Structure 1
C-alpha cells in the first residue's frame, strides 16, 4: 500500500518496521495520519511472516501529539473505513466530540495494544501527550538518550490524554507529578520507572531496536502471542480497562466544561494562547473576554 505519512518496510525476515514520516510537523497526528498508521499495523498483523512490529519515526521528534490545526475533521474522518462502532461524530456537542475521540484515540490505541504480535516503539526526541498514545500501546519501548516523555494536557484544561495509561506506565505518585506539572520525563528516568525497556545513544536507536526485534522473532510465535496476552490480561484484571473508561468520560466532561466557559474544547490560555479558533464545524471561534477596567 502507498501512504503519505507512513513508510512500511521489512528489514529482515520476521520483522516489519512502520516509520511515521511527517517530520516537518514533528509527526503530529491528524485523521489521515492515524488511519494510515492503523492500516500499516493491519498490514503487519495480517502478514503471517511478520512476528515483530517496530514503530519508528523520522525526524527530530517521535511525535508532537494531536494536530490541533487540522480542519474539516468530519470529512477527513469519513474518507476512511471506521474501526470502532462509534460513528456519531457529526452529532452536535459532547456526543459528536466523544464519538470522534472514541474512534480515533481510545479505539485505535486499544486496538494497537491488542495486536496479536509483539510491538516495539523506537522513541527519539520529544513524545508529547498524543504521542504517548502511539508508544504506550506498544509492548516494549526502546528510547534514545535524548528522548523526553511529556504530558501537557492539564495546561489545556484536561486531566490527561484520552487513552489514560499513566498509572500502568509508572507509579501513581509519578503519574500525578507528570500530569500536574507538565515536566518532561527523560529517557533514563523513564527506564527506572519501568516505562522504557532500554536507553541507547540516539545514533544507535535503529540498530538497537532491530536487535531486540531479532531476538524476539526467533522465539515461537504462538508462545510470544500467549505471553503478551497473559500480561495484558493481568493488567485488565487489575481494572485497567474500566479505569480508562472512567478517565475518558472525565476527559469529555472537561471538554464540555471548556466549551461552556471559553467557547473552545480546551482552556485557551497557556500553551493554547493564540490558537483561538473553533475545533468543530459550525461553532463560533473563541473570543477572549474584554478585560475589566481598573
Structure 2
C-alpha cells in the first residue's frame, strides 16, 4: 500500500504485493540528487530490506526523466549541510576546507552510498526512462538490473569539467574499456538500444510498457528463495570485485579529487566553472 508522503519529499515509497517501489521525487529538477535525496533514498532502501514481505525493490524517477545527475545548482542544493553519516566512518565535511571538505562529503554521499546500495541483499531493478546522466548512472549502476524505455539515454559528460568520470567509477565493468573511453572522451549520449548492445541494460521496451515489464520481471524474482537470491547477488558482486572493480573505483576516486583540486586552483571553482545550465548548453 502507498504511504501518505508529501509530494515535497525527495523520495516516495510504496509497496505493491511483494515489490517495494521507490521513486525519486524532484521532477522539477529532473530528479537531481542533493544530499536530502540520498539519505531519504537510503532510508527507503533500509525499510525495504527490513520488510520480509518486500522481496524485490524497484527504483524509478518521477516526471520526464529518471535522474539528470548530481544537484550542482538548484535552490535545494545542500552541499554544505550536515546529515547523519552512515556509509563511512569519517569526520563531517561541514566546516572543513578545500579537498578535506569535498573528499569527506563525496566519500559518504556518493561513493560510499552507492557501494552500500550495491550490497543490498535483495534484487534491485532500475526502471529508467528519459535522462540517466552522470550521478543518475551511479544510481542505476548500483542496481542489479536496468530495464529502460526506448526513449532513455545515458551519458557521463563530466570530462567537460576536466573530471575523469563520476565518483562511482564503474564504467569499464558496465561496458567494455574501449566503449568506456568513447563514453567519457566524447560525452555523447548512448541510446537505450546502444546500452543494451553493450550489456549495460538488461531490456529495452516501449515507454508505455516499461512499468509492466519491470513488475513482471520483479514478480518472477520474488518467487525465488530470498536467501538464495542474496547469496547469488553476493557471488556476482564478489566476482566483479576480484576483477578489480572496487580497487579500480578507489584509484579513480583519487583522480576525481585531483581534478576538483586542479579546477579550484586554476579556475573559478572545483567544477571548472560549470553549472547545470552550462553543462546542458554543451
Q: Deviations over 1:89-142 (max 9, x none)?
A: 132110111010000000100001000111000000011101111100000010
Hey, what does 1:106 align to over in structure 2?
111
Q: 1:245 aligns with which of 247, 250, 254?
A: 250
Q: Deviations over 1:260-279 (max 9, x none)?
A: 0013002226976499xxxx
Q: How far apart, in 2, do the equivalents of 1:8 and 1:274 lie?
A: 31
Q: Deviations over 1:234-289 (max 9, x none)?
A: 001111101100000000000000000013002226976499xxxxxxxxxxxxxx
Hey, what does 2:22 align to over in structure 1?
18
Q: 1:89 aligns with which of 78, 89, 93?
A: 93
Q: 1:56 aligns with which of 45, 56, 60?
A: 60
Q: How far apart, in 1, do the equivalents of 2:19 and 2:212 lie?
A: 13
Q: CA deviation at 1:6?
A: 1.3
Q: How far apart, in 1, do the equivalents of 2:12 and 2:209 lie?
A: 20
Q: Deviations over 1:170-205 (max 9, x none)?
A: 000000000000111111111110000000000111
Hey, what does 1:236 align to over in structure 2?
241
RMSD: 1.8
Hey, what does 1:140 align to over in structure 2?
145
Q: 1:205 aligns with which of 202, 210, 218?
A: 210
Q: 2:159 aligns with which of 154, 160, 166?
A: 154
Determine if contact 1:156/1:272 at 8 Å carries over to the other structure.
no
Q: CA deviation at 1:83?
A: 3.0
1:122 to 2:144 alignment: no
CA gap of 1:88–1:30, structure 2 versus 1, over 3 A, is same
Hey, what does 2:14 align to over in structure 1?
9
Q: How far apart, in 2, do the equivalents of 1:269 and 1:206 lie?
A: 35
- Count residues with an aligned counterpart: 272
Structure 2: stretches of 5+ with no match in the other structure: none
CA gap of 1:236–1:72, structure 2 versus 1, over 3 A, is closer
Q: 2:71 aligns with which of 45, 67, 70?
A: 67
Determine if contact 2:68/2:131 at 8 Å carries over to the other structure.
yes
Structure 1: stretches of 5+ with no match in the other structure: 276-294
Q: CA deviation at 1:87?
A: 2.6
Q: CA deviation at 1:5?
A: 1.4
Hey, what does 1:28 align to over in structure 2?
32
Hey, what does 1:172 align to over in structure 2?
177
Q: How far apart, in 2, do the equivalents of 1:220 and 1:231 lie?
A: 17
The TM-score, its normalising length taken from structure 1, stands at 0.88
Q: 2:46 aligns with which of 34, 42, 46?
A: 42
Is the radius of gyration larger for structure 1 or structure 2? 1
Q: Any idea what SS the aligned residue of 2:270 has?
A: coil
